[in-house]
Amino acid sequence: MASLLRGILPFVLFMLPAASLFPVKIEYNILKGMKYRMKIMVYQDIYLNGNYHSSIESMNKALLEVLWVTNGIGFYRGKFNYYQKKANTDMSMQLMTVYDSEFYRNTQGLMKVPKQFIMPTLRGIPSFPTNNLKVGDTWWADAEELHEGILTGAKNILRFALNVHYTYMGLQTNQSGQLLAHFYVDYHAIQYPKNDPDIMSFTGFSHMDFYWDMLLGGPHSYTEEYSFLFTFHDGQTVLYNGTTSAAVDYLTDITNNAKLKLVQEISNKLGPSSGAGLKETPDAIVVNLGNILFDYNMATLKPEAKTILDKVAEVLILHPSLDIEVSGHTDNTGKPENNMTLSELRAKSVVDYLISKGVDPDRLSYIGYGSAKPIAPNTTEEGRALNRRVEIKILTKE
């Protein structure tokens, strides 16, 4: 996996030629309590030693909140979820890795990230000058990028500095009436890492169309084309060619009353005979479907399981703004690797069925935990039965 924090949902733009003639100030509006989610979709072709190797589709979902602001500098905390699937398939996204993150950012976009955090891997883009901008104005700003987990097995993290070129293109509105500033972002990289045990050189480029929400004072969306070539000391090369699209949602948590209403709605829909359990957590509603969906050691949904999931899907469709994580769990009998595979396949079966019933796949992800997260002792058959379960986590606080 190449951890390129990349990532637009299609939108129609309308030029504002008169307004674009006036200089504008572009900067981050950093407010305590501001929360946003950035969904970054990546389509990537991988070439090993000049030959096509594979294609993947991935998503980075960043959930961030400004905890405090001092002298125009905001302290951000959040997490980045990395999802992946094979390209050009109807497979659902699998949650691969979750990264915690903390960083500082000022109103011009300059970032400082403590060394223990990998995410975000692209830092300081976009950044803005302190002066007002006219159409056609250009500027340069420093940034940083990180890469990890190169295909050939290198485990180190590559960090390199960037000098990024920007061009302001003017103001536009989209079909929702949002006023957006449009600018191009370009950078080229040629790096020869000193004393790196694996990588001899790194070259590449990125071209972005970036749109800035002038009312909210933050990113709205962007698209990107990129190409990065890694050359290793043993002569092997890995080339990543890709396109990225990203969109930002500024979030408001679901209220306690709305959360209570949703719990009641799910409970009424499933009914007491379903065998499902409901649990509220600070950030979610968890529907525990137990082991009622599958036969022993199987990942194919039973007919009665589909009836239950039909009802769950009906509720989820009525709440399109809420994301869903489906997790599979097993007891500790058998080989750990077999348990992990079974838990992943079961969670994927549930996600695939929910998609088939009309739930937006962009809202859904799955992960298998094997026996790593028991809810009861595995020392009795009753406890093991409780641990064999599938959970649907409806995120109500992001």
The upper half-sphere exposure of residue 338, i.e. CA atoms within 13 Å in the direction of its Cβ, equals 7
The answer to whether 327 and 366 are in contact (CB under 8 A) is yes
Give Cβ neighbours of residue 39 (< 8 Å, ≥ 6 apart): 7, 59, 60, 61, 246, 247, 249, 362
- pLDDT of 16 reads 53
Determine the Cα–Cα distance for residues 230 and 290; give it in Å rounded to an integer. 46
- pLDDT of 272 reads 79
- pLDDT of 395 reads 82
Query: Mean of the per-residue pLDDT values for the chain?
Result: 87
Q: 37 vs 30, 78, 108, 219, CA distance in Å?
A: 15, 10, 20, 11
Determine the Cα–Cα distance for residues 283 and 35; give it in Å rounded to an integer. 14
The band of 226, judged by pLDDT with boundaries at 50, 70 and 90, is: very high
List pLDDT tens digits, range 254-306: 777 788 888 888 888 888 777 788 888 877 889 998 777 888 888 889 888 89
Say yes or no to pLDDT of 346 above 60. yes
- pLDDT of 10 reads 40
* Mean per-residue pLDDT, 91-113: 91
Say yes or no to pLDDT of 17 above 60. no
- pLDDT of 253 reads 66
The band of 90, judged by pLDDT with boundaries at 50, 70 and 90, is: low
- pLDDT of 149 reads 60
Give Cβ neighbours of residue 68 (< 8 Å, ≥ 6 apart): 32, 74, 75
* Mean per-residue pLDDT, 117-126: 94
The band of 309, judged by pLDDT with boundaries at 50, 70 and 90, is: very high
Please give the domain boundaries of the chain with CATH numbers for all domains.
13-250 (2.30.230), 256-395 (3.30.1330.60)
- pLDDT of 110 reads 96
Residue type, position 41, single letter:
M
* Mean per-residue pLDDT, 13-36: 78
**Tokens coding 205:** 């480029």
Give the CA diameter of the chain: 74
Say yes or no to pLDDT of 96 above 50. yes
- pLDDT of 176 reads 83
- pLDDT of 21 reads 65
- pLDDT of 4 reads 37
Determine the Cα–Cα distance for residues 73 and 368; give it in Å rounded to an integer. 39
- pLDDT of 9 reads 38
Question: Which of these ranges, 15-24, 137-146, 309-318, has the smallest mean pLDDT?
Answer: 15-24
Per-residue b/e over 115-134, b at no fewer than 16 CB within 10 Å? eeebbbbbbbbbbbbeeebe
- pLDDT of 1 reads 35
Question: Which of these ranges, 227-241, 250-264, 361-375, has the smallest mean pLDDT?
Answer: 250-264
The band of 153, judged by pLDDT with boundaries at 50, 70 and 90, is: low
Say yes or no to pLDDT of 8 above 50. no
Say yes or no to pLDDT of 328 above 90. yes
